[in-house]
Amino acid sequence: MGILAPSILSADFTNLAQQIKLVEIGGADWIHCDVMDGQFVPNITFGPLIVKAARRATKLPLDVHLMIKNPERYIEDFVNAGANHILVHYEEVIHLNRTISYIKELGADAGVVINPSTPVHVVRDIAEYIDQLLIMTVNPGYGGQKFISNSIRRIKEAVELRKNISGKFLIQIDGGVNPITAKQAFEAGAEIFVTGSSIFKEDNISAAAMEIKNLIT
């Protein structure tokens, strides 16, 4: 059974609580929060304040994707704001093993994110310590982009890597996920599906969420 994690990046922020309610009705399992600082990625989105607001709006796990420089500085703030999972980028964290341990010491699940051009094998020696491997299926920074076609091969490589190390991490994808790409990725072995515009930009948000949820079940 796949995990549906709608990204609030594409939600209507004037009505965040109601938007979250709608995806809950549509079968969402987690709520994905895309944090961007305008440095690691071109866009700026939000910080712990919005995570805290989302925390008040839902009981679902908050899956916080840190697309920021030096994320170690803010991990505790996001956990205190209510984050259940903290995802940091391999490309940005020099002492990744220490950061993953720190996230877990704070009581959150720890995930590593790799950009589309970062080979899957680079996470081999951290993979046994993480709860999630997030394979970016678009270049981070914006919602509404096109699914990068070699992502299916990369998902299969992650499945193979996990088998080789008897790992326990879940395989997550983020970006350009729609009913077509979700099904392809699910068949390749993806388990967590971050979906923004394919849900929140639809007229019927709950039905759009349900459609993808049914394809990954």
**By CB under 6 A, which span of 3-11, 16-24, 160-168, 206-214 interacts with ligand DX5?**
3-11
Among 29, 34, 63, 131, which one carries the catalytic annotation?
34
137 and 190 in contact (C-beta within 8 Å)?
A: no
Structure tokens at 33: 């929060």
Residue whose entry in the numeric block shows the structure tokens 């600082």: 37
121 and 145 in contact (C-beta within 8 Å)?
A: no
Classify 178 in phi/psi space as left (phi over 0), alpha (psi -120 to 50) or beta: beta
Instruction: State the nearest-atom distance from the C-beta of 183 to ligand DX5, in Å.
Output: 15
Q: Which does 24 bind (CB under 5 to 8 A by kind): ligand DX5, Zn ion, none?
A: none
Q: Which does 151 bind (CB under 5 to 8 A by kind): Zn ion, ligand DX5, none?
A: none
138 part of the interface to ligand DX5, by CB under 6 A: yes
Shorter beta-carbon distance to ligand DX5: residue 10 or 19: 10
**By CB under 6 A, which span of 52-60, 136-144, 150-158, 209-217 interacts with ligand DX5?**
136-144
Query: 6: Cβ–Cβ under 8 A, 6 or more apart, which residues?
Result: 23, 28, 31, 32, 194, 195, 196, 199, 200, 209
Query: 210: Cβ–Cβ under 8 A, 6 or more apart, which residues?
Result: 26, 27
Confirm whether 34 is a catalytic residue: yes
Instruction: State the nearest-atom distance from the C-beta of 125 to ligand DX5, in Å.
Output: 25
Q: Which of 61, 82, 140, 167 binds ligand DX5 (CB under 6 A)?
A: 140
Label the pairing between strands 109-114 and 132-136. parallel
**By CB under 6 A, which span of 92-100, 142-150, 160-168, 180-188 interacts with ligand DX5?**
142-150
In angstroms, the CA 89 to CA 78 distance is: 16
Query: 22: Cβ–Cβ under 8 A, 6 or more apart, which residues?
Result: 205, 206, 209
Instruction: State the nearest-atom distance from the C-beta of 150 to Zn ion, in Å.
Output: 19
Q: Which does 62 bind (CB under 5 to 8 A by kind): Zn ion, ligand DX5, none?
A: none
Query: In terms of Cα–Cα distance, which of 100, 111, 48 is closest to 77?
Result: 48
Of residues 176-205, which lie at the interface with ligand DX5 (CB under 6 A)? 176-177, 194-198
Site residues (CB under 6 A) for ligand DX5? 7, 9-10, 32, 34, 65, 67, 138, 140-145, 174-177, 194-198
